[in-house]
Amino acid sequence: MASTSRQDKPSVSNEEEDRTRLCDEFAAVAGTDSAVAQCYLAENEWQMERALNSFFEADLEKVFEEDFPDTDSSPPKTKKQKVEEKPPADCIDLTGDSPAARKPSDEDDNKLSLISWNVDGLDTDNLAERARGLCSFLVLYTPDVVFLQELIPPYVQYLKKRAVSYLIIEGGEDGYFTGMMLKKSRVKFLESEIVTYPTTQMMRNLLVAQASFKGQKLCLMTSHFESCRGHAEERMKQLRVTMQRMREAPDDVTVLFGGDTNLRDTEVAKVGLPSTVCDVWERLGKQEHCRYTWDTKANSNKTVPYVSRCRFDRVYFRPASKDGVPRLAPDHMALVGLEKLDCGRYTSDHWGIYCSFSSG
């Protein structure tokens, strides 16, 4: 009879197993070891979101003090202030057009280009140099649209001072979050919103912006889906929300999504993509050199005792279908960030994705 009563509550071994799993997941998201994870989780009653919030409230401003020691001088923004309209007065633009830059052809000028990149702001080692590395790629590729994941507040402040030719839209304020950058001279921003994922435990959401390019209406989306193998169900829920938003956009609008999805192909197969939406990598022929965006075999930023090669970062595209509306189509994809910086590390532990779209 005694053994029957114990079945009503988890055994000690099951509780230990659950807490070990939580520690592993916390460590993977926050880039810490299990001891730090256990400390924050225990202090927050083993609630993942509370523990992550507590961890990300740590003062990270010192990371960029060398570049701008007055980062903390302005008051925090309210929830509605997500768009940076004017650059700080003491900015130095690292992304402006170089006088020696090649004048684009008419064909290039009519192409829409984007970069999607998890910049790993949670890893504070060499972060200022790695942020400068991101700006150098913005100069090299001059993307019209940039989707970023794993931003932290000081990283955003850095970009506001050093990427003045871009309008910055933030998908959050605290901890870590996503963001977009729109080339002011090429893309007209209209409005943005943050779509919450009701059951996320990792502070994830969908950032959506309405914009226009060469008179074409755009709906731009970025997200960082739930991490870790054990959160497949939540990740698939987030994919469903995203696909629904893409499918339901007006037919005179071109929809682009880019982000760190953490998706496995089996998960995408279970959810399914709408017939109107394509995976850009697949559409362009599944080129092998663009397959793996998370590749510990080639990228040494993270020291792990195993080789992991995954296509976590993805770009989805839904063209406008209304008669008489210009149609964009994907025509090129490449991985960026493959070169080490002077510090001996890469811009991020993820490779970035560069894509371009031409009018058909």
Tell me which residues are annotated as active site: 260
SS3 content of the chain, % helix, strand, coil (to 5): 30, 25, 45
Q: Are strands 187-196 and 166-170 parallel, antiparallel or unpaired?
A: unpaired
> Of the candidates 107, 180, 113, 112, which has an alpha carbon nearest to the alpha carbon of residue 149?
180
Extract the tokens encoding 136: 């150098």
Sheet holding 83-84, edge to edge: 83-84, 166-170, 177-183, 145-151, 112-118, 352-359, 328-336
- CA pair distance 303, 306, nearest whole angstrom: 9
Residue corresponding to tokens 């740590």: 58
Whole-number Å distance between alpha carbons of 359 and 236: 32
Cβ atoms of 292 and 310 closer than 8 Å: yes
